[in-house]
Chains A and B, each alone.
Chain A
Amino acid sequence: MYNANDTIFAVSSPTSDKRVIIRITGPGTIETCRKLFDNQFALGAKRSISEHKIKIDSSLELTALLYFFTSPNSYTGDDVAEIHIYTNPSVTEAILDKLLCLGLRTAEPGEFTSRAYLNGRMDLAQAEAVNEIIVSSNQFQLSAAENLLSGKLSQTTEEIRSSIMDCMSRIEAGLDFSGEDIEFISRNEAAEKLTEIKTQLEELLAGSIRYESVVHLPSAGIAGAPNAGKSTLTNKLLGTERSIVSHERKTTRDVLTSMLNLEHYNCVLFDCAGLIAKPENILDELAQQSAIEALRNSMVVVFCIDISKEDWTEDYEIRKLINTKNVIPAAAKCDLAGEKNLPALLDKLHNIFGADFLPVSAKTGQGMKELLEKIDSFLCIKNSYSETPLALVSRHKKAAADAVSNINDAIEELNSGNDEVSAMSLRAAYKEISQIEQHNLDDQILNNIFSRFCIGK
């Protein structure tokens, strides 16, 4: 359990630009800002933006933008300060050291959101939605998370909850007021209503199951013989110098993973060690094993050959090692083959491999756009959703599933005439559904949820 009286800070994950945001919240936020900015800081209105000099050491002074949100009009409900600076990691470290010296501590995962929840700034479902936005890795996920944030899940569960409440109170009334000349609900009618509720919940569950499958990022692998140009291609795809490139064979020994941003999806890109038909030593064998493992888990594999070498016997053997269903054959280094020879070479490849190769060149950029689109389209095929499902997190799913089983019990007990036991199961179901929102006392569950959050918002 976190101590909610501490002043805490967190660095939010840097985006593509070099900006770093340091967030501070807690009772000592104002004091911290004063000390950090040499008393230049004065508390303003509800929200203020101001520019300050921040002294890193005797020789270095930076300009920082300070966004200040006063309690309770902030994300956490406490004072919140956001320090925006353009800098490099070593300077960021220096600032963080300063904060630690001032008696602040680093935030636990999800602690900002936890405080927002504790201060009544959001309900549990909203808090979880924030988490999903933080980790959401494609547009689809983002829209599901936004739906949750806008209370769509809460609305659906509220409906289900009030149906359960209605049915439960009628059964309870039958137990506590049987002396009245009223039939509150017949056992048959109650069982029918409960079956309806159960169906609703099962639909909710069906949605959540589809969703869960996309929480884990899809992956794409780059495979081919040693020195086929896989790493060069990978770097070109990522637009960075991720893989070390050399003309030596077997430069890439491990599986290198990076995030690849596509138009519709993000995916994890594996750049594997070059595959060899006959491993020469134990080192080769280990590299080969991890490469094959990574490829097996990939949703799509770019099979890469060097079009300039004209002997693809080894590549033909290697192709057999790739068991993934979705393979994009790519003819790398096509700039070396020359424009004139390319159609003949591609024909030759077609004859050997029985597939059309996409000519690509990291050097000229030829075929790169098409390759990215192809990868994206394979991910799209895998994830075609007609509508945005509602339930999101596995905890929600479990609550809904438990509720379904409790409603099942309730129906069964009603049918055997045990109304009082049925009522107990309905209470359990109600409790499960209520947990989707904030009516939850168990701090273990709370800790569980909040430990899943990224640091900062």
Chain B
Amino acid sequence: MPNVSNKTKFDCIVIGGGHAGAEAAHAAARIGANTCLITISRDTIAKMSCNPAIGGLAKGQIAREVDALGGLMGLATDATGIQFRLLNRSKGPAVQAPRAQTDKYKYKDYIRAMLEQTPNLTIVESMATDIITENNIVHAVKCADGITYYTPTVVLTTGTFLRGLMHIGTHQFPGGRLDEPASNELSDSLRQIGLELGRLKTGTPARLDGATVDYDKTEIQAGDEKPVPFSFMTDKITQPQIPCWITYTNEAIHKIIRDNLHQAPLYTGQIKSTGPRYCPSIETKIIRFADKERHQIFLEPEDIEKTTIYCNGISTSLPKNVQEQILKLLPGTENARIVHYGYAIEYDYCPPVQLKSNMETKKISGLFLAGQVNGTSGYEEAAGQGILAGINAVRKLQNKEPLVLGRDMAYIGVMIDDLLTKGINEPYRMFTSRAEYRLSLRTDNADRRLTQLGKSVGLVSSDRWARFQNKIEQMANLKKYLQENRTEGISLWDRLRRPNSELAEKMNEDEKVKEMKLPEDVLYSVIIDAKYEGYLGKQERLAAGMKTLENRNIPSDLDYNTISHLRYEARERLTAFKPGTLGQASRISGITPADITVIQIHLKKHEGREMKNEIRND
């Protein structure tokens, strides 16, 4: 054992300071672990590598869940947001979600400041190159500067840095992000310790000098007049707000793209890995939807001063001169100066079927993975995994049960379960349709779903807890009043439950309700509870079959090859995935209901034998 100084010895090391790493480091340190965040540069902590926005459909729910658990994302968004919009206003509240453009420079500074103020957290500027294990147990992290940091737990959040390869036209070069180096050694190290790696692709559009854009030629997309905050801790958004702008591509642009496909890495075979279907490059959109006359492009400010503009909808890896020609033809950007060109990036990820439900690798004890390294995309998805990985790394140290969120508890739970059981074909993004319990996984109740849990693991501050308790009490009082008071023989609560209830619109006109002086989110939450009350039973029934399977654990030492009736393919898949429950097994692709029945039979037989043995032993 080398002589280890306190400065190089930690309970938990987080590698990478992106949205997953920041939440992981904050959570681990908050809970009380002596934590170290290793990042290439302090200045790129929580950098928004792509879209300068947080939230959106399903993602907004995750952001709220991270907040409810005691994370950073919601607070940072509320502090630095420059345009807030509640999406899906015309649809039901369960599928409504907040989205905010943020001042991306202020956002990262905000998170960095939060981390710097977090007790127990040391930030080290360096590049991790090796994860050192002993007998498949995490032992230390070695950095490029030669320093070795010792730790029993590592949370790895490498984003797009592992063997990152960037593409602009036919030009390809190593890099983890714009002007940042790729991590090739760390990728090799992961392979060496026995992890299997795959490859994915993503891309980003050009950034423009905001002062050179002609906004008069675009449509204005204003934010909400009354911004809805992300964090349950925020009462009101007070900073000034600015709009986004919408412009459209045209046939001339489409022609240029078609004429230059021979220089498009996505179509020349230069890029081999799969990108996200839900976030196609402009060249893909034009090829796949050839009959569409125009595509919508959002010009999104990256800061309140409009120093730089993000061209949402025109992600591309076409050569620089083609990007210039496209922008010259796009209304509003004809004379714009390009600050950064769009690019595509291929990177290593670790197929997440190698994870356990606590985010730890099955192979290496103490190694937790979160964010894009697990094949996901999106800041919110990363943050959701990061906070869980940080919590569970510490819980492992504390010999406590891991925090695993069920599919009925959180989108974060849905996501992690999907990652573990479904495998990845493209960068994974959350959609509300992935959630069987969509009607109960809402933004308004994320605190009621998760804050208690956040407190029990030690992540929720006393302020947040008091605020939460207060809200619960206010909600209970309001609900009681509504249930006990009637008009024309029908309780106010039942009136509220009706479709398109008038009362929901006019709650604040009720004298008694006025007297209660309730904050808006309390009113809103009670109204939504009433609206969905009648549907939750049906939702529960629909998912009931799932739950019985969910509760049946599969012994971790089960040898699928001994189950004689199991198909060969099923044996192989199950041996690779090692599902923890029958529920997980049933969601593994390629596993049929018949396979599940066979395993059920096997487990029952096994149980039967054990019971017989026990009786004999008695």
Contact = CB atoms under 8 A, between A and B. Distances in A.
Contact of B596 (A120, A178, A424, A441): A441
Contacts of A428: 538, 542
A443 B603 CA distance: 13
A23 B453 CA distance: 57
Given A178-B57, A178-B88, A420 B593 contact: no
Given A419-B91, A438-B592, A441-B586, A424 B538 contact: yes
A420 B90 contact: no
Contacts, number: 100
Contact of A27 (B564, B567, B593): B564
A427 B542 contact: yes
B519 to A, nearest CB: 25
Interface in A413-457: 416-421, 423-425, 427-428, 431, 438-443, 446
A180 B94 CA distance: 19
Nearest to A172: B433
Contacts of A427: 542
Nearest to B565: A4
Nearest to A416: B499
Interface in A1-33: 1-5, 27
Interface centre among A3, A118, A438, by most B CB within 10 Å? Answer: A118
B100 to A, nearest CB: 14
Given A5-B605, A424-B542, A443-B597, A176 B92 contact: no
A1 B600 contact: yes
Contact of B549 (A2, A438, A440, A441): A441
Contacts of B593: 438-441
A420 B605 contact: no
B601 interface: yes
Contacts of B56: 179
B500 A417 contact: yes
B594 A438 contact: yes
Contacts of B471: none
Interface residues of B, number: 40
A259 interface: no
Interface centre among B58, B94, B95, B431, by most A CB within 10 Å? Answer: B95
Contact of B542 (A178, A179, A431): A431
Contacts of A418: 92, 499
Interface in B577-604: 586, 592-594, 596-598, 600-601, 604
A417 to B, nearest CB: 7
Interface in A276-296: none
B545 interface: yes
Nearest to B570: A120
Interface in B254-308: 278, 296
B443 interface: no
Given A1-B604, A428-B542, A120 B594 contact: yes
Nearest to B542: A428
A118 B565 contact: yes
Contacts of B542: 424, 427-428, 431
Nearest to B433: A172
A419 B92 contact: yes
Contacts of A68: none
A2 B597 CA distance: 10
Contacts of A180: 296
Contact of A176 (B94, B432, B499, B596): B432
Interface in A153-183: 172, 174-181
A417 B438 CA distance: 16
Nearest to A421: B535
Given A418-B92, A420-B438, A175 B432 contact: yes
B604 A424 contact: no
A439 B545 CA distance: 12
Interface string B120-143: 000000000000000000000000
Contact of B601 (A4, A120, A425, A441): A4
A127 to B, nearest CB: 11
A140 interface: no
Contacts of A2: 601
Interface in B428-471: 431-433, 438-439
Contact of A420 (B91, B296, B604): B91
Contacts of B567: 120
Nearest to B500: A416
A117 interface: yes
A1 B552 CA distance: 16
A420 B601 CA distance: 37
Interface in A385-439: 416-421, 423-425, 427-428, 431, 438-439
Contacts of B500: 416-417
Interface centre among A175, A179, A427, A439, by most B CB within 10 Å? Answer: A175
Interface in B522-556: 535, 538-539, 542, 545-546, 549
A260 to B, nearest CB: 41
A8 B90 CA distance: 60
B101 to A, nearest CB: 13
Contacts of B546: 441
Contact of B565 (A119, A419, A443): A119
A175 B565 contact: no
B569 to A, nearest CB: 10
Q: Closest 8 A-B residue pairs measured CB to CB?
A: A416-B499, A420-B92, A172-B433, A176-B431, A420-B95, A175-B95, A181-B296, A4-B565
14 contacts: A3-B605, A4-B565, A4-B601, A172-B433, A176-B58, A176-B431, A176-B432, A417-B92, A420-B92, A424-B439, A424-B535, A424-B538, A438-B592, A441-B593
Given A176-B431, A178-B91, 20 more contacts: A1-B600, A1-B604, A2-B601, A4-B598, A119-B565, A175-B57, A175-B91, A175-B433, A176-B58, A176-B432, A179-B87, A180-B296, A417-B499, A419-B91, A420-B92, A420-B439, A424-B538, A441-B593, A441-B596, A446-B597
Interface of A: 1-5, 27, 117-120, 172, 174-181, 416-421, 423-425, 427-428, 431, 438-443, 446
